[in-house]
């Protein structure tokens, strides 16, 4: 019974350690430059769509 208890505690401890270590190591593996480029591309797409919308509203005369 004591051995099972020890294994159970060890498994939970390892799960906690790896659960905290894996996400941070994933951020280290994936280049932050690529993440930054992707967010910049998304931001550019959203901004261009917003600018097109504002331009259309100005042409219609609804936005001054």
Query: Can you give the residue ranges of every domain in the chain?
Result: 1-29, 31-64
- Report pLDDT digits (tens) over 10-25: 888 887 777 666 666 6
Cα distances (Å, whole numbers) of residue 27 to 5, 22, 23, 30, 40? 34, 9, 6, 5, 18
**pTM above 0.85?**
no
pLDDT in tens, 17-62: 776 666 666 666 667 677 777 778 878 888 888 888 888 888 887 6
Pair 58, 64: CB distance under 8 Å: yes
List Cα–Cα distances, 60 to 32, 51, 53, 54, 63, in angstroms.
42, 14, 11, 10, 8
């Amino acid at each position: 019974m004591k051995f099972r208890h020890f294994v159970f505690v060890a498994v939970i401890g390892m799960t906690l350690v790896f659960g905290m270590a894996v996400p941070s190591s994933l951020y280290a593996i994936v280049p932050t430059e690529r993440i930054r480029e992707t967010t910049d591309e998304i931001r550019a797409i959203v901004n261009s769509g917003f600018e097109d919308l504002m331009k259309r509203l100005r042409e219609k005369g609804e936005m001054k």
